[in-house]
């Protein structure tokens, strides 16, 4: 690549980051003011709207144009965009026609990503399954470090153990055999076999601030469920929330199952006319919303705090319509 072309690309990368004074840009590029003005003009001819501002604090900045010019991304940015577009490709965003656009964009990225970055993107894409789409109230986001996700995905790809540090765990550091990442409602879960407890776990990745390669490879075990998404959904419903609830619904189990989203909870038949719903959320208010959306009679068995909350709601709603015609 010609030196002038390389220099223009460096200039573009600097402008995409933030605005710079002409003196700063010339110094960073090691060129004269005249050469800098020439390179700025070349960018403008290529469709990049470079704006110049005069004055003591003036300089150059990249503005908005009428067309979409090419972007320069560093390694981390490229991986982040490719992963985000890949998640949008499955169509779970709720935006019409986005899957086709995401597929085309991802194909373009795949062609130009260096192999070292492509391995990271492919590992995370192959290691991830998407949970069921949900309607109604959504729990607060639980963001996770990108480095932790890629470390877990690499271990899944390589069939290697990984040492994880879990926040607020009785055993802060443990070694697990990772099998799958599940993404649901903007949250991430790791399906893994714990070498300490000798049990299968669905671990919220938001509780894993650090993950490092373990000491060995492993042979795949028999999975706890052929559908690992269903395994995680059951864990979330019965133990994965700050608030877990047990509710008796006065309707047949098959009727309730047909009514609720699989992510809302697990249903077990009690008899021909009633069933037990195990559900949960990060707040009592969210559980109450789920139950109101059932549109069926129910009885709250636990926890007592949920009973008190629904009693408060009942009084509030009764008072709200007391004087209604």
pLDDT tens track for 160-180? 999 999 886 667 789 999 999
CB neighbour burial string for 96-118, b if at least 16 within 10 angstroms, e if fewer:
eebeeebeebbeebeeebeeebb
Report the pLDDT value the prediction gives residue 262, as an integer from 0 to 100.
64
Report the pLDDT value the prediction gives residue 164, as an integer from 0 to 100.
94
Written out in words, the top-level CATH class of the domain with range 146-225 is mainly beta
Packed helices 33-45 and 3-17: angle between N→C axes, nearest 10 degrees = 80
Strands 210-217 and 59-62: unpaired
Fold of 3-62: Arc Repressor Mutant, subunit A (1.10.10)
Q: Where in the chain is the domain with CATH 3.30.70.250?
A: 241-320
Question: Which pTM does this prediction carry?
Answer: 0.60
Q: Where in the chain is the domain with CATH 1.10.10.10?
A: 3-62
Can you identify the CATH homologous superfamily of domain 241-320? Malonyl-CoA ACP transacylase, ACP-binding (3.30.70.250)
Query: How many other CB atoms sit within 10 Å of the CB of residue 2?
Result: 7
Report the pLDDT value the prediction gives residue 263, as an integer from 0 to 100.
61
Report the pLDDT value the prediction gives residue 98, as an integer from 0 to 100.
61
Report the pLDDT value the prediction gives residue 172, as an integer from 0 to 100.
76
Taking 50 as the pLDDT cut, the residues of the chain under it are: 1, 93-95, 135-137
Report the pLDDT value the prediction gives residue 137, as an integer from 0 to 100.
45
Start-end of H helices in the chain = 3-17, 22-29, 33-45, 75-88, 98-112, 115-127, 146-158, 228-238, 253-259, 284-294, 304-320
């Amino acid at each position: 690549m010609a030196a002038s072309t390389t220099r223009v690309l460096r200039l573009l990368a600097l402008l995409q980051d933030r605005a710079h004074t002409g003196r700063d840009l010339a110094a960073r590029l090691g060129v004269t003011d005249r050469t800098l003005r020439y390179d700025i003009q070349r960018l403008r001819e290529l469709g990049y709207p470079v704006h110049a501002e005069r004055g003591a604090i003036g300089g150059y900045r990249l503005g908005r144009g009428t067309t979409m010019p090419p972007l320069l991304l560093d390694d981390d940015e490229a991986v982040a965009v490719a992963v985000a577009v890949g998640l949008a490709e499955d169509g779970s965003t709720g935006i019409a026609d986005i899957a086709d656009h995401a597929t085309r964009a991802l194909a373009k990225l795949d062609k130009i990503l260096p192999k070292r970055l492509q391995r990271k993107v492919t590992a995370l894409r192959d290691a991830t399954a998407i949970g069921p789409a949900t309607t109604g109230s959504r729990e607060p986001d639980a963001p996770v470090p990108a480095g932790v996700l890629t470390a877990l995905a690499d271990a899944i790809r390589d069939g290697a153990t990984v040492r994880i540090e879990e926040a607020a765990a009785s055993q802060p550091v443990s070694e697990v055999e990772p099998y799958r990442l599940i993404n649901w409602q903007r949250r991430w879960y790791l399906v893994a076999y714990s070498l300490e407890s000798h049990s299968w776990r669905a671990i919220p990745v938001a509780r894993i601030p650090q993950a490092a390669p373990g000491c060995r490879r492993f042979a795949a075990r028999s999975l706890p469920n052929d559908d690992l998404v269903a395994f995680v959904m059951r864990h979330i419903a019965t133990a994965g929330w700050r608030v877990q609830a047990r509710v008796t619904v006065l309707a047949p189990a098959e009727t309730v199952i047909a009514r609720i989203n699989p992510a809302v909870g697990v249903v077990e038949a009690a008899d021909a006319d009633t069933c037990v719903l195990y559900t949960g959320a990060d707040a009592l208010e969210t559980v109450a919303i789920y139950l109101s959306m059932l549109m069926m009679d129910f009885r709250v068995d636990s926890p007592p705090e949920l009973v008190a909350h629904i009693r408060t709601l009942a009084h509030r709603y009764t008072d709200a319509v007391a004087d209604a015609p």
